[in-house]
Amino acid sequence: VQLVESGGGLVQPGGSLRLSCAASGFTFRNYAMGWFRQAPGRDREVVAAISWFGGSTYYADSVKGRFSISRDNARNTVYLEMNSLKPEDTASYYCAARRSNSIQIDARRYDYWGQGTQVTVSS
């Protein structure tokens, strides 16, 4: 099983990034997916989550209206489009997979995790 995140980097406040998470080794369409982030000295927190066919989504209040989660089951990939980035969005971003048809926002309930990609928002 592998989850490989990409697309992180350094961006100025107000800028945009698109994160991707490529999955392999399991039946992607049978898994709900989530994006989490963790900043230094802080707990890991959910950013967004999506059900296995993408019919339901969840967003943390801090990113509503700015971030968008989507998935392509044909490509075994989940995305996180991030717009209007703020310095407080700086963190390592992780994707995770849970064998479930419904959204899950509790990190402890996820089965598989990627290694993370760093997002730094700074001028």
Over residues 28-34, mean pLDDT: 96
pLDDT (tens digit, 9 = 90+) per residue, 82-105?
999 999 999 999 999 999 988 989
What integer is the mean pLDDT of 14-38?
97
Residue 80, pLDDT above cutoff 90: yes
User: For 85-111, b where at least 16 C-beta lie within 10 A, e where not — what string?
Assistant: beeebbbbbbbbbbebeebbbebeebe
The set of residues, in sequence order, having a beta carbon less than 8 Å from that of 76 and lying 6+ positions away, is: 22, 23, 24, 28
% of residues, the chain, pLDDT over 70: 100
Judged against a pLDDT cut of 90, whether residue 121 lies above it is answered with yes
- pLDDT above 90 for 64: yes
